[in-house]
Amino acid sequence: MTEERPTISVVIVSLGRPQSLSLCLLGVARLVYSPYEIIVVADAAGIDAARSLPFANALKLVRFDEPNISIARNRGITESAGEIVAFIDDDAVPEPMWLERLREAFALPDVSAVGGFVRGRNGISWQWRGRSVDHQGRAHALPVEGQQPVLPVSPEGHAVKTEGTNMAIRRSVLAELGGFDPAFRFFLDETDLNLRLAVQGHRTALAPAAEVHHAYGPSDLRRGDRAVRDLIAVGQSSMVFLRRHASPETHAGRLCEIRQEQRKRLLQQMVDGLIEPRDVRRLLGTLEQGFDAGLALALPTLAPLARPASPFLPFQSLTTGEHRVVSGRYWRVRAIRREAEALAEEGHLVSVYVFSRTFLFHTLRFKRPGIWWQRGGLWGRSERRLSLRQFNLFANRVQIECQRVASARWK
């Protein structure tokens, strides 16, 4: 593999979320990296959304309508001609330095896979950071300090866990392992791959500064507010995972744990007003249906994946890589937006900071045509570790926030 600038294929799978996909593609189109290509595996609505973008001719588009994320990702891998394949979900947006920070982690000795960190829908709180996973699918915290890529040491019998919305793997390794297991229609698909990588002796690094913002878009399985609609896929994948990786005598105990975990989750959603009390029993019933389906499923034998179906299609990033900061008080929002949009149209990376004289917690959003928009109180927290008693002047607070995101956003 080329040492300095490996070619990277970015694979995005989309089903039923064309608007989310469009925003994701706008973010991926503004990555500070070269050379990379973009592969979209999507249903008809998603393909139409991608074709409506001005850079559609520079995308590899693959029509796929089946609700099976593993098969869809394998289709994306087949179209990928990069030395590294990176994955991001259609309801996520990467920070501009995402691919560069993943690349830095691949420079560590003998690394085959890299996982980045994921922020939640408010753009500030962490959804996932360092974790390991055991052979029954339980995730465990894996502390990682600082912003530099690391090769974490996971406990005996564990594998370093990566998230499907922010991970990258050498294509040769993916092809050798047979890609993702089609038995995992949804849920635990990347976790299964993590364990297979570990069993084969492949090393996985974590890159804290390779950040992705994940919004948890609506689907057949959950609403946009994360309210559960169906647990069949969770039950099926959980059973398949146990059959693939855990000793048979441990299955019953782990299934009881999963039932308790999901019941607790549903009861909390009921308390929060997201679902009705009558929904709890029905949804737990779909979990049992999933267990039965996973037990009855004939597990496929994974064969090596084919060579790339098409040559590498380099994407010319829409950004120059130059960073601009626009800031001001909340009453200047319209003028700030006009200035930021003009800079984004010129190809700049644009960070906007709009502060009120309050202690409001901060939020961060990626907005069209390519603006990272952060707002909140001048003395409000942008991360939980920050003090509530930070009486900064406006210019000082802008500087603090710029430093906070620097590793993920610009060179």
Query: How does pLDDT run across 183-219, given as a tens digit for each residue?
Result: 999 999 999 999 999 999 999 999 999 999 998 777 8
Mean pLDDT of 323-335: 95
pLDDT at position 201 is 95
Q: Are 24 and 100 in contact (CB under 8 A)?
A: no
Percentage of the chain lying above the pLDDT 70 cut: 98
pLDDT of 4 higher than 80: no
What percent of the chain is modeled with pLDDT above 90? 90
Residues 347-364 have a mean pLDDT of 95
Please report the pLDDT score of residue 389 as a whole number.
61
pTM: 0.95
**pLDDT, mean of residues 106-123:** 96
Given a cut of 60, whether residue 14 has pLDDT beyond it is yes
Segment 46-68 mean pLDDT: 97
Residue 2 has pLDDT above 80, yes or no: no
Q: How many CA atoms lie within 13 A of 16 on its CB side?
A: 12
Question: Tens digits of per-residue pLDDT, 127-150?
Answer: 999 999 999 999 999 999 999 999
pLDDT tens sequence across 22-53? 999 999 999 999 999 999 999 999 999 999 99
Average pLDDT over residues 350-364: 95
Model confidence over 144-192: pLDDT tens digits? 999 999 999 999 999 999 999 999 999 999 999 999 999 999 999 999 9
| Amino acid present at 138 | R
Selected from 3.40.50.720, 3.90.550.10, 3.30.1220.10, 3.20.20.70, the CATH number assigned to the domain covering 8-214 reads: 3.90.550.10
Residue ranges of the domains in the chain?
8-214, 232-296, 323-409
* Mean per-residue pLDDT over the chain, rounded: 95
Length of the chain measured in residues: 411
Residues 283-310 have a mean pLDDT of 96
Can you tell me the mean pLDDT for 271-285?
A: 95
Query: Is a pLDDT exceeding 70 seen at residue 387?
Result: no
pLDDT at 217: 77
Position 101 scores a pLDDT of 98
